[in-house]
């Protein structure tokens, strides 16, 4: 089984196979000692044969270490050309290693171990080039990568083809930078990729956010509720513009989405009432008016404003609004009066306990002072001799 060893994330200097071999040679490799056993007799390996076996296993472990590190650092994205060549070299090494078996009892004389070590060194060199290329391409692709990662965090049903196409274009761009060793002369491609990714990001969020409210909006009948229909439509437009401005501002988007849904629901409700009115207005216009006025009867009864029922609908609504405001104002005034009564009582208690006027302090401050005064009196009484209490 191949062994993976931890290596630092950044490669400031080229990695030498000899250094990795030194780190891995102390571990057992992929070759089992059972392969050297024939019946009950064990094959005794010479010192040179043991060193050769350890070197081959260490070389393959080094290959696996760098391969895993390359995957973790996403070299297929940042340095596609060199990493692809490295993968080809790895496949060749794996095939060579599969054929690395005992042969007529004379394994090490024709084992191909030197070929494995040479090819491993070439693999390491190719991986070095991949890491060096990433150092150039990663800053150029940072904005594109950010868009790519955000897109993949959002529901993407229906956009797979566009995403794959853009990602392929990004990898081709990275390959061009990789071969040139610089991004100079490719600024227009980078700008276009960023613009295309941003447009895709906006379209994906639009689809995700607008699909449900748009479906409900399309069920409205503009001829029945033209004014409410227009308000709901403007709400959808505002939501769309907000997404285009910043598709990642989820808080603002959700607030506007809620407001838009409310307008659509209002339009649905008004449409039902309009249909109801139109179905009855020709036979009993008076009944329609009475029904609407009766909606206010229970509210007038609760507020004690029954006299308003003699007024027209708009006057009743205005009167109810004033009555509610009056009740709220009275409740606020009652709270102020209650707070003042409590402050006066606390101030009097404070005067008795401390001899000080605390009426100018807040309720919380007075309570704190009273607690402190009471605690002081208790402490003094405890310290006082029993005969003086």
Q: Cα–Cα distance between 239 and 333 in angstroms, integer?
A: 42
* Residue 306 and residue 300 in contact, taking contact as beta carbons nearer than 8 Å: yes
User: What average pLDDT does this structure show over 52-76?
Assistant: 88
Q: Tokens for 223, please give them.
A: 């001829």
User: What average pLDDT does this structure show over 205-214?
Assistant: 94
Q: What is the pLDDT of residue 380?
A: 56
pLDDT digits (tens, 9 = 90+) for 73-107: 999 999 999 999 999 999 988 888 877 654 433 44
pTM of the model: 0.62
Q: What is the pLDDT of residue 129?
A: 93
Q: Tokens for 314, please give them.
A: 């708009």
Reported confidence tier of residue 280, pLDDT bands at 50, 70, 90: confident
Q: Tokens for 163, please give them.
A: 């995403």
Q: Cα–Cα distance between 33 and 202 in angstroms, integer?
A: 59
User: What average pLDDT does this structure show over 243-247?
Assistant: 95
Reported confidence tier of residue 308, pLDDT bands at 50, 70, 90: confident
* Residue 151 and residue 201 in contact, taking contact as beta carbons nearer than 8 Å: yes
Reported confidence tier of residue 355, pLDDT bands at 50, 70, 90: confident
Q: Please give the residue that has the higher pLDDT: either 5 or 379.
A: 379
E strand intervals along 93-195:
none
Residue with tokens 């613009």: 195
Reported confidence tier of residue 8, pLDDT bands at 50, 70, 90: very low
Q: Please give the residue that has the higher pLDDT: either 313 or 228.
A: 228
Reported confidence tier of residue 378, pLDDT bands at 50, 70, 90: low
User: Could you say which DSSP state residue 79 is in?
Assistant: S
User: What average pLDDT does this structure show over 354-380?
Assistant: 72
Radius of gyration of the chain (CA): 41
- The mean pLDDT of the chain is 80
The phi, psi pair for 7, rounded to 5°, reads: -130, 150
Reported confidence tier of residue 44, pLDDT bands at 50, 70, 90: low
Q: Please give the residue that has the higher pLDDT: either 187 or 373.
A: 187
The neighbour count for residue 39, using CB atoms within 10 Å, is: 5
Reported confidence tier of residue 300, pLDDT bands at 50, 70, 90: confident
* Residue 119 and residue 96 in contact, taking contact as beta carbons nearer than 8 Å: yes
User: What average pLDDT does this structure show over 314-340?
Assistant: 83
User: Could you say which DSSP state residue 25 is in?
Assistant: T
Q: Cα–Cα distance between 358 and 366 in angstroms, integer?
A: 7
* Residue 213 and residue 254 in contact, taking contact as beta carbons nearer than 8 Å: no
pLDDT digits (tens, 9 = 90+) for 132-188: 999 999 999 999 999 999 998 887 788 999 999 999 999 999 999 998 888 888 899
* Residue 174 and residue 137 in contact, taking contact as beta carbons nearer than 8 Å: yes
Residue with tokens 């229970």: 298
User: What average pLDDT does this structure show over 52-73?
Assistant: 88
Burial tier of 66 (Cβ tally within 10 Å: 0-12, 13-18, 19+)? buried
Coil vs helix vs strand at 37: strand
The phi, psi pair for 101, rounded to 5°, reads: -130, 165
E strand intervals along the chain:
37-38, 41-42
Reported confidence tier of residue 17, pLDDT bands at 50, 70, 90: low
Coil vs helix vs strand at 44: coil
Reply yes or no on whether the pLDDT at 334 is more than 90.
no
The packing angle between helices 142-153 and 160-180, to 10°, is: 160
């Amino acid at each position: 089984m191949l062994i993976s060893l931890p290596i630092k994330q950044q490669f400031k200097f080229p990695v030498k196979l000899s250094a990795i071999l030194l780190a891995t040679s102390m571990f057992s490799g992929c070759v089992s000692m059972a392969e050297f056993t024939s019946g009950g007799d064990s094959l005794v390996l010479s010192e040179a044969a043991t060193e050769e076996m350890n070197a081959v296993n260490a070389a393959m472990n080094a290959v696996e270490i760098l391969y895993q590190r390359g995957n973790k650092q996403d070299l297929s994205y940042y340095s596609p050309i060199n990493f692809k060549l490295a993968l080809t070299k790895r496949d060749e090494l794996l095939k060579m290693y599969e054929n690395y078996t005992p042969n007529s009892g004379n394994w090490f004389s024709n084992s191909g171990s030197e070929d494995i070590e040479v090819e491993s060194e070439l693999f390491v060199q190719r991986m070095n080039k991949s890491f060096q290329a990433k150092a150039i391409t990663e800053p150029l692709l940072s904005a594109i990568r950010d868009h790519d990662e955000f897109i993949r965090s959002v529901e993407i049903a229906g956009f797979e083809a566009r995403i794959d196409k853009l990602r392929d274009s990004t990898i081709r761009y990275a390959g061009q930078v990789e071969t040139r060793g610089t991004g100079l002369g490719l600024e227009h491609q980078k700008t276009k990729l960023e613009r295309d990714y941003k447009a895709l990001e906006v379209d994906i969020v639009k689809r995700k956010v607008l699909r449900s409210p748009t479906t409900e909006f399309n069920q409205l009948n503009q001829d029945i509720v033209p004014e409410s229909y227009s308000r709901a439509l403007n709400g959808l437009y505002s939501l769309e513009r907000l997404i285009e401005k910043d598709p990642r501002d989820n808080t603002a988007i959700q607030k506007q989405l809620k407001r838009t849904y409310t307008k659509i629901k209002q339009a649905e409700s008004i449409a039902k009432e309009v249909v109801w009115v139109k179905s009855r207005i020709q036979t009993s216009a008076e009944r329609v008016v009475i029904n609407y006025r009766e909606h206010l009867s229970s509210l007038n009864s609760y507020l004690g404003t029954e006299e308003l029922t003699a007024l027209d609908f708009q006057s009743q609504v205005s009167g109810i609004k004033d009555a509610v405001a009056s009740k709220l104002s009275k409740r606020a005034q009652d709270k102020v009066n209650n707070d003042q009564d409590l402050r006066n009582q606390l101030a009097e208690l404070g005067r008795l306990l401390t001899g000080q006027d605390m009426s100018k302090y807040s309720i919380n401050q007075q309570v704190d002072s009273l607690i402190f005064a009471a605690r002081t009196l208790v402490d003094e009484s405890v310290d006082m001799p029993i005969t003086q209490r």
